[in-house]
Amino acid sequence: MDNLFQEIAFWLLAAVTVGGALGVVRTQRLFRAALMLVVSFAGVAGIFALINAEFLAVVQVLIYGGGVAVLVIFAVMVTSDVAEGNRNTRTQPFALLAAAALLVTFVFAIVQAEWDVLPNDLPAPLAGVFVDTPAAIGGLLLNEYVLPFEIAGIVLLAAVVGALALVRER
Amino acid sequence: MLERLLILSAVLFCIGLYGALSRRHVIAVLICVEIMFNAVNIALVAFSRYITPAALRATGEVNEAAVRSLLAGQTFALFVIVVAAAEVALGLALVIAMVRGKDTTDISEASLMRR
């Protein structure tokens, strides 16, 4: 029963995610592409929640579904008066060919490889890891990964200052 | 489950790649790069959730290293999200600067650094 639910949830979320992404690539109107992007982000958040990454699911909705989507839609509106449509480049057939070739390679490699996987329902001591993931990730960020954590803060600060410097009216 | 998640990730990545290579509008290219970031995050989380940790395989018991590796992918994905957020903020600032300076959003017009 639980497995059936997971099965259905996975296929639904995968369809939403891939459908949203295809919508982004297919549509000619940029504003619609930004909205389809939000759909795709929501699907990815659901996938995260499905595989024991609840904290990431929340972060995904907050940062991608909230911050990034608002930024993109804002930028589309600011630049819309010069938007000469969302045409394709001359290299479009080659892009399709390259992406398809890469996809075939990926799928072949994934199916061929012998993965040493854990079962879907984890044995008792391992299942305890995923009981309180936000606290566990917080502990990892402040112990094991404290240097990357601090550098991430500096990167964000530099990005904000850089963005302000770029768009400043002279 | 792992193979399915990886194939989903590969499909998303290739859709994003196709979009990033075939679009002319700068913001459309940025959006497609975001899709590629998301695909990578799915693969990271899937690997750390479903691959048997090396520490567990070696000793057969659940120790701290095994627990850490089960959550390592989620922590990495968190850093990827941070970098992606910084990239979007800077990228959109560049788009606005480009519209101001050249009055275009066509990526093939951005050839200032070409010899």
**Reported confidence tier of residue A82, pLDDT bands at 50, 70, 90:** low
pLDDT winner (highest mean) among A43-57, B43-57, B90-104: A43-57
3-state SS, one letter per residue, for B24-65: CEHHHHHHHHHHHHHHHHHHHHHHHHHECCHHHHHHCCCCHH
Residue B9 has pLDDT above 60, yes or no: yes
Q: Closest chain A residue to B25 measured between Cα atoms?
A: A86
Name the residue with higher pLDDT: A87 or A27: A27
* Of A50, A148, A118, residue with least CA distance to B78: A148
Read off the pTM. 0.86
**B73 touches B45 (CB < 8 A):** yes
Tell me what pLDDT residue B79 has. Answer: 93
* Of B34, B14, B56, residue with least CA distance to A119: B56
**B12 touches B46 (CB < 8 A):** no
- What integer is the mean pLDDT of A97-114? 89
Cβ neighbours of residue B2 closer than 8 Å, sequence gap 6 or more: A115, A117, B46, B47, B50, B51
Cβ neighbours of residue B94 closer than 8 Å, sequence gap 6 or more: A166, B26
ipTM above 0.90, yes or no: no
Q: Closest chain A residue to B66 measured between Cα atoms?
A: A126
Q: Closest chain A residue to B105 measured between Cα atoms?
A: A83
Kindly state the helix (H) or strand (E) to which residue A4 belongs, with its residue range. Answer: helix A2-26
Tell me what pLDDT residue B43 has. Answer: 92
Walk me through the domains of chain A, giving residue ranges and CATH numbers. Answer: 1-101 (1.20.120.1200), 128-170 (no CATH)
Tell me what pLDDT residue A83 has. Answer: 52
Tell me what pLDDT residue B14 has. Answer: 93
**Reported confidence tier of residue B10, pLDDT bands at 50, 70, 90:** very high
Tell me what pLDDT residue A66 has. Answer: 86
Residue A2 has pLDDT above 80, yes or no: no
pLDDT, tens digit, 9 for 90 and up, residues B14-26: 999 998 888 878 8
Structure token pair of residue A44 = 């990815």
Mean pLDDT lowest for which of A38-42, A55-59, B67-71, B87-91? B67-71
Top residue of B11, B18, B99 to mutate, by most chain A CBs within 10 Å, is B18
Instruction: Give the three-state DSSP class for A85.
Output: coil
Residue A86 has pLDDT above 70, yes or no: no
pLDDT winner (highest mean) among A154-158, A163-167, B20-24: A154-158
Which residues of chain B lie closer than 8 angstroms to A139, CB-CB? none
B2-109 architecture in CATH? Orthogonal Bundle (1.10)
Tell me what pLDDT residue B111 has. Answer: 73
Tell me what pLDDT residue B112 has. Answer: 72
Tell me what pLDDT residue B109 has. Answer: 75
Tell me what pLDDT residue A135 has. Answer: 86
Cα of A7 to nearest chain B Cα, Å: 9
Top residue of B56, B92, B102, B108 to mutate, by most chain A CBs within 10 Å, is B92
Name the residue with higher pLDDT: B71 or A45: A45
Share of chain B above pLDDT 90, in %: 31
Distance CA A19, CA A10 (A): 14
User: Which sequence spans correspond to the domains of chain B?
Assistant: 2-109
Which residues of chain A lie closer than 8 angstroms to B105, CB-CB? 79, 82-84
